[in-house]
Structure 1
Amino acid sequence: MRSLVPRPRALAVVLTGAALAFSPVTGQATAKLPAAPTNDCFVPPASAAAKGGRGADTREVSLAEQKAIQARTAQLLKAKAARGVSVPKGALAAASVPVYVHVMRDAAGNGDVTNTQIADQIAVLNKTFAGQESSAAANTGFTFTLAGTFRYNNNNWHKDKQSSTYRKQTRKGGANALNIWLVDFAYLGIATFPWDYARNPGIDGIRVQYTSLPGGTATNYDLGETATHEAGHWFGLYHTFQGGCTSTNDEVSDTPAQSSSTNGCPEGRDSCSLPGLDPIHNYMDYSYDTCYNQFSPGQSSRISSMWTAYRA
Structure 2
Amino acid sequence: MLSSSPPNGLHTVAQPLQCGRFTLTFERPLIMGILNVTPDSFSDGGRFVAREAALAQAEAMIRDGADIIDIGGESTRPGAPPVPLDEELERVIPVIEALRAAGVPLSIDSYKPAVMRAALNAGADMVNDIWGFRREGALDAVRDSACGLCVMHMLGEPQTMQLHEPVYLDVVEAVREFFGERVGTLTDAGLAVERICLDPGFGFGKSVTGHNYDLLARLADTRPSTLRVPLLAGMSRKSMLGAVTGRTRPADRVPASVAASVCAVERGASIVRVHDVAATSDALKVWQAVRNAGNCTQ
Normalising to structure 1: TM-score of the pair?
A: 0.29
- Judging by fraction of residues, say which structure has more helix: 2
